[in-house]
Amino acid sequence: MIVRIQGSGQYRLDDAAQSELASIDARLVAALERGAADEAHTLLGQAVSLVQTHGAALPDDALSPSDLILPPADASLDEISIPLHPAPTQAPSSQ
Amino acid sequence: MSGMFGRFTNIVKAKMHRAMSEAEDPAEMLDYSFEKQMEMLQKVRRGIAEVATSKARIQGQLARLMDQSGRLDGQARQALTLGREDLARTALARKQTIETQARALAAQVEDLEAQQNRLLDGEARLSAKIDAFRTHKEVMKAQYSAAQAQVRISETASGLSEEMGDVQLAMQRAQDKTEQMQARATALEELVGSAALPEIGPGSGDDIDRELARLSAGDDVERQLEAMKRALPGGPEAPKQLESGESSTHD
């Protein structure tokens, strides 16, 4: 699978790294559902560094389209248009 | 992948598609001309240069703000030696506002530097991909039937347009960020310049300076007044107390 990290180019990921990425993605979905912005950021950073360390960078002149695109690790949740979903049944937290 | 990254991928590809359809007629995709690709590359290079120029301007504004901050510190000291704590307080408050905001801006300038480097890398990738696309296109036309060549060139063209879209988005982000910072730096400079601080009253940029100048010129009415009061009988030592007044509260 070819993964692009926005602003950092493309990487080819093997199966093992792909399933690791999928697991981070699942945790990211859960974190966003809980409204845990900090955790979501940490997971995004983990995903980006997983791709950069375990993926093989494609040469500059490669012309393959990407299967998956990740935002840069320093993107804000707002910038990457991922809405936070705090659990609706949660009681208002104490101050 | 169907999670958050899959969703993000779809959003980005839709945005890239929109950005690219403005730049080119999809029918021309197969023979996307070298001139047009170079135009796009030139646009990216101009964008990178503009970001660099804006960054330099913001850095200049920051330097001036830090100068101001140093000046305000000096003013505060001078005000204190003249016994004007209120004026010193105003100068220090203004200095703190400037420093807090200038520090935040300086951190953003560093972020911008990182973005700028990524833009340069992106420009290099785009440039390499354009060269590769030109070569592949000709090779494919020669090697395959027209229909096969069309499919393969389409694939490579979408790889190229993905990179173009990515660089354009990165450029947009950098430009937006630069504009925001520019606006903040300018607003801060105006704040320093107009100094609409209520303690000072209707003053302009040099209100503290003018006040200090007035004081140092020996025009300190209050101090003279104070000195006069002291010289008068029944001076500040016991101006209001009446020795024969009510009895003390001591039991």
pLDDT in tens, B52-86: 888 888 888 888 888 888 888 998 998 898 888 88
Q: Is the pLDDT of residue A92 over 60?
A: no
Shortest distance between the Cα of B131 and any Cα of chain A, in A, equals 8
Of A61, A66, A81, the CB nearest to B129: A61
Q: Tell me the average pLDDT across B214-235.
A: 66
| In the predicted structure, residue B28 carries a pLDDT above the cut 60 | no
HSE (CB half, 13 Å, CA atoms) of B7? 10
* Band (A91; pLDDT cuts 50, 70, 90): very low
A8, A60, A79 member nearest B118 (Cβ): A8
CB burial class (10 A; 0-12, 13-18, 19+) of residue B37? buried
Measured between CA atoms, the residue of chain A closest to residue B125 is A60
Out of A10-24, A68-82, B135-149, give the one with best mean pLDDT.
Answer: A10-24
What pLDDT does residue B27 have? Answer: 45
Our CA dihedral for A33, A37, A39, A45, rounded to 10 degrees, sits at 110
For residues A86-93, give the mean pLDDT.
46
pLDDT band at A88 (very low <50, low <70, confident <90, very high): very low
C-alpha to C-alpha distance for B106 and B71, rounded to whole angstroms: 19
Chain B contact set for A71 (CB, 8 A) = 8
Spell out which residues of chain B touch residue A62, defining contact as CB-CB under 8 Å.
Answer: 129, 132, 159
Question: Is the predicted pLDDT of residue B195 greater than 70, yes or no?
Answer: no
Instruction: State yes or no: ipTM above 0.95.
Output: no
Q: Using a CB-CB distance cutoff of 8 angstroms, which residues of chain A are in contact with residue B169?
A: 6
Helix (H, G, I), strand (E, B) or coil at A61: coil
Check CB contact under 8 Å for B1 and A68: yes
Q: Does the distance separating the beta carbons of B131 and A26 come in below 8 Å?
A: no
Least confident range from A4-18, B24-38, B113-127: namely B24-38
A29, B170: Cβ pair inside 8 Å? no
The CA radius of gyration of chain B, in Å to the nearest whole number, is: 33
Average pLDDT over residues B229-236: 69
Could you give the percent of chain B with pLDDT greater than 70? 75
Highest mean pLDDT: which of A25-29, A86-90, B149-153, B213-217?
A25-29
Contacts of A61 in chain B (CB under 8 A): 128-129, 131-132
Residue B216: what pLDDT? 63
Mean pLDDT for all residues in chain B? 77
Average pLDDT of the segment spanning B7-25: 72
